[in-house]
Amino acid sequence: MKKRDGLIEWGGALLLTAALAGLASTTVRAETAPSEPITLEQATEMALHADPRIEEQRANVARAQALIERVKGEGGVRVSANLFMGLAPKAEDGIFTNGTNTCPAGKSCTLRDDGNELDEGFTVTSGLTASIIQPLYTFGKLENYGDAARLNRDVKASEVALARGETWLTVRRAYWGYLAARDTRRMLEGVKRQVDRTREDMREDAQAGEVPMSQLYALESGAAQLERYLAEAGSVEAIAIDGLKTIIGVPITSSIEVADPRIEPVTLPEGELAELADRALAQRPEMAMAENGQAAMRNYVAARKSERYPNLYAGVIAGATYTPGRDRLNNPYINQPLNQAYAAPVVGLQWDFNPGVMRANVSDAEAQLQGVVAKAQLARQGIPFQVAEAYHTAHGLERQIRALDAAKGNTRKWMVSTFMDYQAGLVGGEELAEAVKANTEAQADYFRAINDFNMSVAQLAIATGDYPQ
């Protein structure tokens, strides 16, 4: 009875499921446990609504949409205003040395030259500067950044589909793992009951000297191994059901039941390998991500390159300042910046770039584009292999199940007939222990093969994109 690998394999996979589900439990709102046994489809639907990993990706889509709105905003009206208050030197008695702002006819007038002196003290000045600008043409900046942002949103939407696929697969890992572990435990319990009855009879016969003690020891060893595997199967079963409860959003302390009475092989999808590979390249979310990612990066590179060009704009600029103690001048040649008001429509070209930084930005964008192109090429090469791997694994396990189905039937008949032969005194304890061992291994292998087959079919569905996206 050395078939421990199967139980450990289930245990490892289900521990991973529990770990992922444990992360989800920190944010998932606990729902009331269902009162009726749940099917795999019901568990999947509950998980798709409860898994925070999906909500995280949806939040990323919302952020990508906000980036689109930001680019749109860059093409809209811009309003800039600055209201200020400060100190300014007083200036009284006009602009001429005669103390007025006028020069009488026939007289020589001299402009004052005491602007840098502070003899008259200070006063408070306040003002407002404002501009309203509408970009007219950006030489491709807004268009390319906008297209890149929209394509980036589509990439994030594909990541939602990937998260849903991971949840879909996790539910199946927990659900089928639970069924396989439960069926294994029930099988081991049935074998143990038979072994326990025979062991009591053999112990009495050994004490009476009717059978050698070596036969009793052989059966005792087999019974101890059964206890060990029972404990292991029970722990895997408990981990699986707790993982299932967590991923569907049910409190781990609640009690749930699954609707399937036993684990059964699922239906193998139809289609040849080449057909499935073509289907994967057409409908896998990764392919849409690759196409949209490449297009987004091309637009991003074009937008970076367009930053070398100015922005054409139209608008209005205005300003006003008021300073008590300073006269307002209306002379077109003399400006009084501390006591004036102005407004003017403008049309202009605005440059705002650093040539060295611009070249670095373009190089960085082009490098990112090369990386995205490489990832897209890797996806086109890797996806057909993923399909092939899942396809061959599923078909191989299907053949294993047929062989193991026959094997478990024969080994069970062997075990039952050996029990009967032992009661008739035709065989000893060693033969009985060997038959029990063979039956246990064949039964456990059968359940493990079904679990592995079902998961390989699920992996094939993920590989081809045939899951709820």
pLDDT at 15 over 80: no
Go through the domains of the chain in sequence order and give each one's CATH number: 40-75+138-310+351-464 (1.20.1600.10), 77-92+113-137+311-350 (no CATH)
For residues 189-207, give the mean pLDDT.
Answer: 82
Nearest to 214 by CA among 429, 421, 433, 427: 429
User: Which pLDDT value is given to residue 175?
Assistant: 96
**Does residue 414 contact residue 438 with C-beta atoms inside 8 Å?**
yes
As beta bridge partners, residue 130 has 81, 318
Beta strands in 298-358 (DSSP E): 311-322, 340-350
User: Which pLDDT value is given to residue 103?
Assistant: 82
Distance, CA of 309 to chain centre: 38
HSE-up of 18 (CA within 13 Å, CB side)?
18
pTM: 0.77
pLDDT at 23 over 50: no
pLDDT at 5 over 50: no
294-344 pLDDT tens trace: 999 999 999 988 988 999 999 999 999 998 877 777 777 778 888 888 899
